[in-house]
Structure 1
């Protein structure tokens, strides 16, 4: 049985992707900082039947964690087929006022962990001459977003990193894809400390994590380089490409800076 390793798997999009992969017959290696959430996810996912679920509680903001994940997963390396880099978080606020340590932790989780895990597991996939890496971006990565500054920049990195890595690995048998959701029904808004106005706006346009997961897994297994989920999200990204950057900046600031 082939294995898939998913970070950020205790809830939200990561958990939904884990479920989608379980339904397609993959054994699961779940990683998240939330051990209680992992225990709950394991119990739920095992109901699919016929699959094995193992998990590791780990903090990806710590520089040593990717190496620890790689070492923990070693017994399954011969059967490991998929790496999903989903773990990420955002912070809503003015750059100069948000705690520097939290912002650096965001960079560690959203960027450094993705780079490190990809670097560790590419040789594993090369040895098998087959593998899949799915990175989760965001519609925020396609435009400047004041007051969601570091998060948006981190997702811009992920989108660019994925495309470049995909090209470098094009003849290796390793597929690299990026899926960029828009507003999704997860705890992202709560974790980012967003206000009531943003919550209400998000609730109007939220996609279900399951819908995002189906798009993401289909894109990965069908060797698609990049997907933006949902018509409204794709339209918003397209309009941001057309509009002057100053307009995108004002638009983003109007949403994410309104209640600061």
Structure 2
């Protein structure tokens, strides 16, 4: 059974069809990329999968359960978690505190923000394990605002992992990065993908080719191709719609 799938998924905005009859299947343990030109419907599909938007038609299933009408917060608690394109950490809290807040949110510790640090120290071992996993152990006491851009994105991924997700949806994780940060983040995503299913929207085709197991291509809200990078890159419809024409 696939861990995440849609059937006939559609979303309209005042007559404009942003996602049209999409069948989309993600296998457990895979790293699945979603690509396409601007306006292809990738972000809308992400918003539908994580229930920030409701479908006009069709169904979404997570681990076999129909979540088409489940609230977004409940979907996240079930293990389907999105990491946003724009970094969403708390800039004036430390790296350590950002992870602790994410852990508190997962455990619904509503009033724990008012407790002393000593009362919250039970999270410390898990926090350090997460920071070590994403290469931020030496940055634990630094304010998030002081981190280089690539490290800030690693912190965002760590806060996502703190939710203990079974599927992570990454929205353009390489956006705005230099090559050094791209290389580091690609290795990090590949490492995280060894334990967690990942669905990723990404414009950098070199990254997509390097780390993806399977790729789905959207154009004008519809799936036009799916397969390995070798398969989709040789598809003439993909070349015309995404790459910009056929090439030898």
| Larger helix percent | 1
| Larger strand percent | 2
State the TM-score, normalizing by the size of structure 2: 0.33
Bigger Rg, which one:
2
Quick one: higher RCO (CA 8 Å, sep 6+), 1 or 2?
2
State the TM-score, normalizing by the size of structure 1: 0.32
